[in-house]
Amino acid sequence: MKIQKGGVTSPKGFLANGLWAGIKRSGRPDLALLYSEVPAVCAAVFTKNSIQAAPIFVSKENLKNNRAQAILINSGNANCFTGNFGLLYARWSAELIARLLNITPDDVLVASTGIIGRPLPYIKIQNAAPELVQGLNTKTSLKAAQAILTTDLKTKEISVTTNIAGKTVTLGAMAKGSGMIAPNMATMLAFINTDAAISAPLLKIALRRAVEYSFNRITVDGCMSTNDMVSVMANGRAGNHYIHKPGKDFKKFSEALEHVCLDLAKKIVLDAEGGTKFIEITVAGAKNEAQAKKAAMAIANSNLVKTAAFGSDPNWGRVAAAVGSVGLNVTEKQLKIKFSSFAKKNIYITVDLNLGQHSAKVYTCDLSFDYVKINGQYN
């Protein structure tokens, strides 16, 4: 596998664009479009929050055929808690893009991110859509990556290639996320395009596994959102032998997908709202992986641990208290805690429960004054 420069338009047959439609008062880009020149096999995972935004419902409906050809994303407005009109605007958005691209509406997914509870300004999307479609290009992945940001300070892109049975397969992706980042995804969106030829069932399996070990292993503030979505479109343009069963080819594709997801997940933590430090937490010696992840997340979501990191105070007692709070029946004699320097940008915390042979790794950041300031003024 090789890492290369690029984003969602790196794989063969994909175009993208982004622009300002007027949704954000700041004048920053707020509308993005991804497009595959041919219908693509598609898989996606969504937030587990019981309050879900209108685009989540529409995208789930349109994904019943396991296929997609375009994805429309807006930022600055979550289109959540917007009632029947929210659903109507989300469906109209998909139908609008379908007409302009001359494709079926069922092959268009929609995603939104931004402030909850405000009506989606559909007319602004309608007015901007023709220019958005006309500007689709292989060289505009960065414009799309910029248009999906909210409180993010940086765009998040990656592109990798892998050799599958003599054919070069490319994966290109972009993501957004900075706050409300918690297990089961968060206020984050990630879109992955690939020119691999792969079956829908295997694409789903690969995506779910990749998400579990990446986006479901990060937390900024322990808050779950309503709009989260990670999708993969695979259009088969690489010409590789069709991957329809487990084996060497599927393993290589899965490894590349996992790398892409973990890279984007780490970039989200590095760009966390008010974050000044990146924290990697490893819990070993657990009875099973679920137990290890539970303990690691308890540490990662501890405000006391996170503020200690911000203050460069290696207070191991806060880590011990976090582990003890989740009911693992670990004793003082069993628990072993190691720190790297809390004064550095990257902090490593390792905990051994001495209960078994399993481990898990999660990623978080510190909790700073700026986090409170950013979220206190979000509206």
Strand 31-46, strand 14-19: pairing: antiparallel
Q: How far apart are the first and last CA of the chain?
A: 42
Q: What is the pLDDT of residues 48-91, one digit of tens each?
A: 888 899 999 999 999 999 999 999 999 999 999 999 999 999 99
Q: Which residues have CB under 8 Å from 374's CB, separation 6+? A: 151, 179, 273, 274
DSSP letters for 205-236: HHHHHHHHTTGGGB-SSS---S--EEEEEE--
Catalytic residue among 151, 170, 187, 219: 187
Helix, strand or coil, per DSSP, at residue 306: helix
Phi, psi of 263 (to 5 degrees): -60, -45
Q: How far is CA 100 from the centre of its chain?
A: 28
Q: For position 377, what pLDDT does the model report?
A: 66
Q: What is the pLDDT of residues 179-215, one digit of tens each?
A: 544 545 445 899 999 999 999 999 999 999 999 999 9
Q: Structure pTM?
A: 0.92
Helix, strand, coil share (%) of the chain residues, nearest 5 = 35, 30, 35
Domains parsed from the chain with CATH numbers: 2-270 (3.60.70.12), 278-376 (3.10.20.340)
- Crossing angle of the two packed helices 200-212 and 248-270, in degrees rounded to 10: 40
Q: Return the DSSP state at 123.
A: H
Q: For position 221, what pLDDT does the model report?
A: 65
The single-letter code of the amino acid at 347 is I
Q: Does residue 276 have an active-site annotation? A: no
pLDDT < 70 regions, the chain? 178-187, 221-223, 375, 377-379
Listed residue (18, 127, 14, 116) closest to 74, CA to CA: 18
CA distances from 63 to 35, 46, 52, 72, 150 (A): 15, 12, 16, 14, 26
Q: For position 338, what pLDDT does the model report?
A: 97
Q: How far is CA 15 from the centre of its chain?
A: 20
Q: For position 185, what pLDDT does the model report?
A: 45
